[in-house]
Amino acid sequence: MSAEKLPLYGEKPKLGRLQIAAVVLGLLTVSFGITAAFIILPYLTDLYALRSERDNLLESNFLAEAPEELPQTQEQPSGFYVSAFDAAMSEINPDYLCWIKIEDTKIDYPVVRANDNEKYLNTSFSLEENRFGALFMDYRCMGAYVPHIIIYGHNTAQGDMFGDLDKYTNDDFLREHPVITLKVQGRITEYEVFAARKTDVTDKAYNLDFAQNGAFEAFAQNCGAPDSTVQIITLSTCAGPRIDDKRVVVQAALCKAE
């Protein structure tokens, strides 16, 4: 036998197409498993915690009561009072301000306000670490009378937090769901939506400087608010995941307080 025909010791057998496909599939499976362990599972864990927190609050007895029937527990010099509802929520989180609800959306949450706009980006209402955070009012919206209120929240693909604000970019949904409801100090306050758009962080909707006379009136007119509007609420969320400067903004004017 000639040297050319002698078998080469240690020569690796050639892989067939099916074998190659099996190897690739195995690598993909391992890769997906790693991705699930480090990205998907923590995401779902935080989402489950967020939903459980809200469900527990919604099932609480003090939330089931009509706010106007709640007993007065503490007189305030301003004439406002801390209801049993407010007291119970504040016991869970001293930063509690109000409750926001929009029909036919998942927006049905407590709203907080901290000393900055960073704390509740990754802290839940129950003060637990959570990537979905909490709905929070801009820390600059403070005082006896605030003509413009901004509330921020994360955008989730599942519609949780402020994910359902996207619905307002549909004219039919806006027309059929014009009311944003806030429960504040035992009272129901309603705002009528007048604008919704996809924009960015430079939008006029983020203006909170009304020191000059007539500044708020000019702001309201520029935003397209109804004539004689005395207060505007702006809801803001990211336009989507991994989009740093794009936003979805919904604006509404105070229309009724009971």
User: Considering only CA atoms, which of 120, 127, 151 is closest in space to residue 137?
Assistant: 151
What pLDDT digit, counting tens, does each position of 204-244 carry? 999 999 989 999 999 999 999 999 999 999 999 998 766 67
Inter-CA distances, 177 with 67, 104, 171, Å: 22, 8, 10
- pLDDT surpassing 70 at residue 5: no
Sequence ranges of the domains in the chain: 95-257
pLDDT of residue 255: 83
Our CA dihedral for 34, 39, 41, 47, rounded to 10 degrees, sits at -170
Q: Which residue has the higher pLDDT, 60 or 2?
A: 60
What pLDDT digit, counting tens, does each position of 151-162 carry? 999 998 889 999
Tokens representing residue 56 in the block: 């527990």
Confidence of residue 31 (pLDDT cuts 50, 70, 90): low
Q: What is the mean pLDDT of residues 234-257?
A: 84
pLDDT of residue 105: 96
pLDDT of residue 113: 97
- How many angstroms separate the CA atoms of 51 and 45, rounded? 10
What pLDDT digit, counting tens, does each position of 67-114 carry? 443 444 444 444 455 677 788 899 999 999 999 999 999 999 999 999
- pLDDT surpassing 80 at residue 38: no
Could you tell me the fold of the domain covering 95-257?
Sortase; Chain: A; (2.40.260)
* Bridge pairing between strands 108-112 and 135-137: parallel
φ, ψ of residue 223 to 5 degrees: the values are -80, -15
**Helices and strands: H and E segment counts in the chain:** 6, 10
pLDDT of residue 72: 42
What pLDDT digit, counting tens, does each position of 162-218 carry? 999 999 999 999 999 999 999 988 788 999 999 999 999 999 999 999 989 999 999
pLDDT of residue 42: 80
Cα angle 76, 80, 81; round to 5: 70
Q: Which one-letter DSSP state was computed for residue 43?
A: H
pTM of the model: 0.79
pLDDT of residue 184: 86
Question: Counting beta carbons within 10 angstroms of the beta carbon of residue 71, is it exposed (0 to 12), middle (13 to 18) or buried (19 or more)?
Answer: exposed
Place of tokens 């000019």: 218
State whether residue 60 is helix, strand or coil.
Answer: coil
In sequence order, what are the residues at sequence separation of 6 or more whose Cβ sits closer than 8 angstroms to the Cβ of residue 183? 67, 85, 98, 99, 100, 101, 189
pLDDT of residue 76: 43
CB-CB contact of 148 with 217 (8 Å) = no
CB-CB contact of 188 with 258 (8 Å) = yes
- How many angstroms separate the CA atoms of 252 and 231, rounded? 9
Q: What is the mean pLDDT of residues 23-44?
A: 61
pLDDT of residue 78: 46
Q: Which residue has the higher pLDDT, 77 or 144?
A: 144
